Chains A and B, each alone.
Chain A
């Protein structure tokens, strides 16, 4: 029977996070380079980092119970979620 390891789903997510980090740096560097190296720019960057941390933490929390090493057959039984 065809099956897939659970951690397989983390690859596209990691790819997205790479892009996210790139664009975050581009934003923060633009702010610093073009005149926002002041309280407003620092505060905006801080709020952005906090927001990112909250989303990542909530994702981690909601997936903490997942066994990433488990191999799930593609024809598994339906589950109740949310």
Chain B
């Protein structure tokens, strides 16, 4: 399934680029997985050392083995859920709008969109040693004060993204201005039709 199949596109709309968080951010969950996987072994080594553990009941032995299985399966599915969350978060920029698709856990998903003509300002930021080295950061797309701002987190090459969004917004505004300029040619007819309608209703 390609990105274009994620949302219905308007006629003439073209996907310019799509953004996911930089793959390096997924190293966090990988480290957490490794630490959690090693924790039982480390705990056993610290608490009991090399001595064999003596359990007060034979069923405890089976219970602990089953519990270990539950523990490892739980961290494994937690890790996979993290991947799903990471991979399904996507920002799509077309020549007409910006879509922010957010996966919220396993059973939540939000989609917000913003027309490029409404973009007022775009701010990009790279902060920290690793983001600077790997060239990833945040991009803030600001709209009118009452509207929601778009926030792209940990995306690769944020400055280039900002520049591209500003270019696309300028192009979209030009296109819309052209469409408005073309409209007055049809306007007199529309006004006349409206006037006739009002007359028919006894208002004019």
Identify the A interface with B (CB < 8 A): 4, 6, 9-10, 12-13, 16-17, 20, 23-24, 26-27, 30-32, 34-38, 40-41, 44, 48, 51-52, 55-56, 58-59, 62-63, 66, 72, 74, 76-82
Identify the B interface with A (CB < 8 A): 1-3, 5-6, 44, 52-66, 68-70, 72-73, 76-77, 80-81, 83-84, 87-88, 90, 101, 103, 106-107, 109
If A27-B106, A35-B90, A81-B60 touch, does A56 touch B69 (CB 8 Å cutoff)?
yes
Q: Which of B44, B57, B68, B103 has most A Cβ within 10 Å?
A: B57
For this complex, 24 residue pairs linking A to B, each with C-beta atoms less than 8 Å apart, are: A9-B62, A10-B66, A13-B70, A17-B73, A23-B81, A23-B106, A24-B80, A27-B80, A27-B81, A30-B88, A31-B84, A34-B88, A35-B5, A35-B90, A36-B84, A36-B87, A44-B87, A48-B76, A52-B73, A55-B69, A55-B76, A59-B69, A74-B57, A79-B58
